[in-house]
Amino acid sequence: MSLSGSPTVRGLSSARRFLRNSPSSLRGILLVMLPSMTPKAPGKAGRFSSQDESLPGWVSPLFAHATAAAAAWGPIEILQYSPVPRADFMKPVLDTGADDLDAPLSFSVKGPVTAVNAVLPGMRELGRGTLLFVNGGSAVRPHPDRAGTSIAFAAESAYARMLHDALAPQNIHAAQLIIPGAIRPDAEHSSPDALAQRLYAIHRERDGFRHYAEPLPD
């Protein structure tokens, strides 16, 4: 299993949910921290546990380590791409220049492309796989005060949708979960545990491309 993003409560909740429900099918957990978030953090191995089960894990600041993890553990069956964007990606559209889009596009387009290309050969070898992309509401409803993420999330959504169509004949399911609001422990539909359960359901049910944690606000 590969989880790409920062090792936040959301990421760890997802890892534990997948492990608890289907430990026999998972080979390892990969948490990839973006260089822009943790520029000096070294890659390191660890373990994630859920009751009596555990999986090897890898926390890395570089997407290239996805390839190293796959080589160490064998084919990776599940990729979840859900890093948290930086605050400076969210400038108003009228204050956003071309250079301001470099980091958001690298974060939301080059990042997932690199991660997918690292795990896709293993999924094809297994004959199955799941690619999960998690985005905020600006992926489907652009926000004029969050231009960087609105543009970059839209591009990521297009990439994920193309993967959904192109990989379906190979039994590899690509899907997107939209989280319109803030992730809070007390939220009914957007708590880390609720989102982890929803992502697991998307993986298991393999029904459609875009899903919503809760309805978009009016």
pLDDT per residue of the chain (218 residues) written in tens, 0 to 9: 555 554 444 555 666 666 565 554 554 444 444 433 333 333 444 444 444 444 444 444 445 556 666 666 677 788 888 877 888 888 999 999 999 999 999 989 998 898 888 889 988 998 999 999 999 999 999 999 999 999 999 999 999 999 999 999 999 999 999 998 777 777 778 788 888 889 989 999 999 999 999 888 76
Domains, the chain, with CATH or none: 2-212 (3.40.50.720)
pLDDT of residue 17: 63
pLDDT of residue 42: 38
Contacts of 32 (CB under 8 A, 6+ apart): 3, 4, 5, 59, 60, 61, 62, 63, 65, 66, 83, 115
pTM of the complete model: 0.79
Return the H-helix or E-strand segment holding 47.
strand 44-50
* Phi (first) and psi of residue 160, to 5 degrees: -65, -40
pLDDT of residue 52: 40
- Is the Cβ–Cβ distance between 128 and 76 less than 8 Å? no
pLDDT of residue 50: 42
Beta strands across the sheet bearing 29-32:
44-50, 53-60, 29-32, 2-4, 78-81, 129-136, 172-179, 210-212
pLDDT of residue 196: 86
C-alpha closest to that of 211 among 149, 111, 137, 146 = 137
pLDDT of residue 28: 46
Tokens of 29: 């957990």
